[in-house]
C-alpha cells in the first residue's frame, strides 16, 4: 500500500473511532445486531467471522485466530466502526438495488465494476462450484438470479447479493453485486463501495485458499 494511501486510511480510521465513541454502547447494541461482551465491548459478525470491538476506543480483533494471519485489515476496521456508528436498526427488506441506485453511486460505478464485479467474473466464470462454496462459507443463501446467486449477510442488518453468469461460446462471464434497498440506511455510499469490493475479494480469497 502506498504511503499516501496508508495515511488516508489511518486518518479515516481515527475519524471512525472518534465518531464511534460519540454513540452510546446501548444504542449500538440495540440497532446493530451486535452482542455485548463484558461491560465495555461487543462482538459483531462481519464477512462470515466474529470480531471483538472495544468501547469507546474502537480497537478491533478477531474472535478466532486464523491460519492465514490474525490481523484485521484497516479497511475492514473502518467498515466495522462505520457500520456500528451509522446503522439504524432496520432489517433487510429483501428488495435488491444496483450500486447505481444508491446515492451518488452512479459516479463511482465504473470503478466499482472494475474492482469488484470484473474480478469475480474472471475468477469464477468457469468455476461455478467454487463460487457457490465460497459464498456458502460466508453464510450465503441461494437466490434465483443469474446462473448462480447468493445473498450474503455481510453485517447483521446489511445484505449483499452476488450474481454470476457463466461464460459460454457467445458471451464472456459476467458478475454483478446488488445491495439490499435499506443499505444506505446503514452505511454511506463510499462505505458500501468498499464493502462490496472487500467482500468480493474475500470470496475470491476463500476459493484460492481452498486450492492451496
pLDDT in tens, 48-75: 999 999 999 999 999 986 544 457 999 9
Using CA of residue 198, residue 147, residue 208, residue 153, what is the dihedral sign?
A: positive
Q: Which residues pair with 46 in a beta bridge?
A: 49
Per residue in 103-137, pLDDT (tens digit) is 999 999 999 999 999 999 999 999 999 999 999 99
How many alpha carbons lie under 13 Å from residue 155 in its C-beta half-sphere?
34
- pTM equals 0.94
pLDDT band with cut points at 50, 70 and 90 for residue 168: confident
Residue 67: its pLDDT value, please? 47
Q: What is the mean pLDDT of residues 80-88?
A: 98
Select from 47, 181, 207 the least CA-distant residue to 120.
Answer: 207
Q: What is the mean pLDDT of residues 174-186?
A: 98
Q: Which residues pair with 153 in a beta bridge?
A: 159
Pairing verdict, β 148-155 and 41-46: unpaired
More confident residue, 43 or 209: 43
Q: How far apart are CA 27 and CA 53, in angstroms?
A: 15
Using CA of residue 69, residue 71, residue 76, residue 80, what is the dihedral sign?
A: positive
Residue 211: its pLDDT value, please? 63
Residues of the chain with CATH 3.30.310: 96-211
> 96-211, what's its fold?
TATA-Binding Protein (3.30.310)
Amino acid at each position: 500500500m502506498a504511503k499516501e494511501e496508508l495515511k488516508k486510511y489511518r486518518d479515516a480510521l481515527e475519524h471512525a473511532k472518534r465518531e464511534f465513541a460519540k454513540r452510546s454502547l446501548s444504542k449500538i447494541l440495540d440497532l446493530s445486531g451486535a452482542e455485548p461482551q463484558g461491560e465495555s465491548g461487543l462482538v459483531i459478525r462481519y464477512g462470515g467471522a466474529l470480531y471483538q470491538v472495544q468501547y469507546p476506543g474502537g480497537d478491533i480483533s478477531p474472535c478466532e485466530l486464523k491460519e492465514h494471519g490474525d490481523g484485521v485489515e484497516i479497511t475492514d476496521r473502518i467498515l466495522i466502526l462505520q457500520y456500528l456508528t451509522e446503522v439504524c436498526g432496520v432489517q433487510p427488506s429483501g428488495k435488491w438495488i444496483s450500486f447505481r441506485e444508491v446515492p451518488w453511486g452512479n459516479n463511482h460505478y465504473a470503478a466499482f465494476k472494475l474492482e469488484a464485479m470484473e474480478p469475480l467474473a474472471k475468477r469464477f466464470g468457469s468455476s461455478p462450484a467454487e463460487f457457490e462454496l465460497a459464498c456458502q462459507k460466508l453464510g450465503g443463501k441461494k437466490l434465483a438470479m443469474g446462473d448462480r446467486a447468493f445473498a450474503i449477510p455481510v453485517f447483521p442488518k446489511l445484505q449483499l447479493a452476488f450474481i454470476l453468469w457463466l461464460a459460454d461460446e457467445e458471451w464472456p462471464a459476467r458478475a454483478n453485486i446488488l445491495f439490499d434497498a435499506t443499505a444506505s440506511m446503514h452505511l454511506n455510499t463510499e462505505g458500501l463501495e468498499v464493502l462490496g469490493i472487500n467482500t468480493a475479494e474475500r470470496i475470491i480469497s476463500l476459493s484460492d485458499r481452498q486450492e492451496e
